[in-house]
Chains A and B, each alone.
Chain A
Amino acid sequence: MTIFEQWWQPIEQMISNKQPLTFFQTIYKELYMNAISDGRWKLYLDGLWVTLKVSFWAIVFGTLLGMILAVLRLPDVTEYRYRGSNPLKKAATALLRFFSWFAKFYIDVIRGTPLLLQVLIINFGIFGTIRIDKVIIGVIACALNSAAYVAEIIRGGIMSVDHGQMEAGRSMGFSYIQTMRHIILPQAMKSALPSLCNEFIALIKETSILSYIALTELTKAGDYIRSRTYSAFTPYIISGLLYLGMTLILTRLIGKMERRLRASDH
């Protein structure tokens, strides 16, 4: 018998005798039931791991997709007109305009509907009969959602870079894409970083919605333990502290990155 069980037994006795517990006994009871007995702390860690996995890949894919969407929404693209007579270039321009229109449509739809509905539609609709790991469905749903927000953040970042930078790059002989990649985007990312950090933190917390499709992430782990112990709040507080830990670490990391990027400001 472990020391935890030894401490627990007199308390359990008191509960079944309907004796009132002291403040500290109540706290120990909640902790024991919701974190110690049955190795339940492992469930929180498993949930934490799933949340980390989903958040990480959703951030990676969401940012990549978001960058593409951001470029498609730039005035350079939306206001581009081809006036020549090369049919191939005409077709390419038409295609670009279509993608640009689609990017706007996509951002409007994704930002204008709740993530919960998107998750449910993706799970029960698009993947209605396809059996794959729920983690993958979670990553897809969260990445698709995050991309729309990231796109607008990065677009804002790009547009905050002085237009002279693009002109300078082009007159140095860089192509549009090269200038974008080597000159504009690095500067844009720097000014977009605080807002991106915001979005990543929101994304980590929003993965809790995935509990609706039976993915056992951190919130679901808490929910699950709660459904066994019927403790109203303790499992949520434990899960909440773990979320807080994750977001605090992320904030610190991005803060560090910001400081390093600022080093080139002078």
Chain B
Amino acid sequence: MKKLIALLVALMMLGTAAAAMADVVTVAFNPEYPPFESVNGDQYEGYDVDLIKAVAEKAGFEIEFEAMDFDAVIAAVQANPNTIGVSGISITDERKLSVDFSEGYINAGLIVVVKKDSGYATTDDLKGKVIGVQMGTTSDFAAEEITGQENTAKYKSFLNAIMELQGNKVDAVIVDKPVGMAILASLADDSLEIVDMGLQADWYGIEVNKENPELLGKINAALKELEAAGFYEELAVKYFSEKEAAAE
């Protein structure tokens, strides 16, 4: 029995050592954000997933995905220089002080989800109202600007915010345009509608540890190539247009 336990411990240590040695980049992300990232059966799919796979192929490194909470992505990237965050992360000046970001790869725009009978049409209508968002997203920043920090209800996931909107506990939800389209298409809730209030969004970037400028350089070069080759448009068609059509 003792020998068996020793063997098991040794094997486990060997496993972790092997994982640490291999030159594999870990992609930290939160696959609860369709169409950017989601789980389909035992596969991860979405805009970000396809993008980082293409980047890795171009730049010549191996990747493995590691799913976690959106909050945890920050810590994962800073804890390990070989981990990158690809999870619809907005580039902001303040964040740049703590981590590096690749060039922005998409600015999807923001939409507001409201109850159909609410009559909210402009951001002025939302002043002083409670707006639900996913914390730390570009929607969160936009909501604070409209209604102030104290009236912004920040959830771990935007799905909770939508649930609160259905229960009339928040007045509106701000979310990325493709994400809002996708969720409304799958919810099929007639009482909700999408309003475009012309909100400004931030660009999404790939989050890289400050100690790994080499990797950042590789990623940026690959992104540039992909953009020139029209890969962004390809992804947009694949992930956004059919979902938008379904929502309308």
A residues near B (Cβ < 8 Å) are 12, 15, 18, 29, 33, 124, 127-131, 211-214, 216, 220, 223-224, 226-233
Contacts and interface: CB of A to CB of B under 8 A. Distances in A.
A118 to B, nearest CB: 16
B71 A232 contact: no
Interface stretch (B29-37, B53-61, B150-158): B150-158
A213 to B, nearest CB: 8
B167 A124 contact: yes
A131 B169 contact: yes
Interface stretch (B90-98, B105-113, B175-183, B222-230): B90-98
A100 B98 CA distance: 56
B147 interface: no
A227 B132 contact: no
Contact of B94 (A216, A224, A229): A229
Contacts of B156: 211-212
B229 to A, nearest CB: 30
A231 B71 CA distance: 11
Interface string B126-157: 00000010011000100000000000011110
Contacts of A212: 155-156, 160
Given A214-B153, A223-B135, A226-B74, A29 B140 contact: no
Task: Please indicate which of the listed interface residues A29, A127, A227 has the most CB atoms of chain B within 10 Å of its own CB.
Answer: A227
A223 B74 CA distance: 11
B19 to A, nearest CB: 21
Contacts of A18: 213
Interface of B: 71, 74-75, 78-79, 92, 94-95, 97-99, 132, 135-136, 140, 153-156, 160, 163-164, 167-169, 207, 213
A228 B132 CA distance: 17
Contacts of A230: 74, 78, 94-95, 97-99, 207
A220 B79 CA distance: 21
Given A131-B168, A227-B140, 12 more contacts: A12-B97, A15-B97, A29-B97, A127-B169, A213-B155, A214-B132, A216-B154, A228-B136, A229-B94, A230-B78, A230-B98, A230-B99
Contacts of A129: 167-169
A interface SS class: helix
A33 B74 contact: no
A246 B117 CA distance: 46
A12 B98 CA distance: 11
A29 B207 CA distance: 20
A232 B97 contact: no
Contact of B71 (A33, A124, A223): A223
Given A214-B154, A224-B135, A227-B135, A33 B75 contact: no
B223 to A, nearest CB: 20
Given A131-B169, A224-B135, A229 B154 contact: no
A193 B92 CA distance: 50
A55 B57 CA distance: 52
A129 B165 CA distance: 9
A62 B4 CA distance: 48
A229 B97 CA distance: 8
Contacts of B74: 226-227, 230, 232
Nearest to B135: A227
Contact of A124 (B79, B98, B163): B163
Contacts of B140: 227
B189 to A, nearest CB: 14
B98 A229 contact: yes
Contact of A226 (B71, B160, B169): B71
A224 B168 contact: no
Contacts of A224: 135, 154
Contact of A220 (B154, B164, B169, B213): B154
26 contacts: A29-B97, A33-B98, A124-B164, A127-B169, A130-B167, A130-B169, A211-B156, A212-B156, A212-B160, A213-B160, A214-B164, A216-B154, A224-B135, A226-B74, A227-B71, A227-B74, A227-B136, A227-B140, A228-B92, A229-B94, A229-B98, A230-B74, A230-B99, A230-B207, A232-B75, A232-B79
Nearest to B141: A228
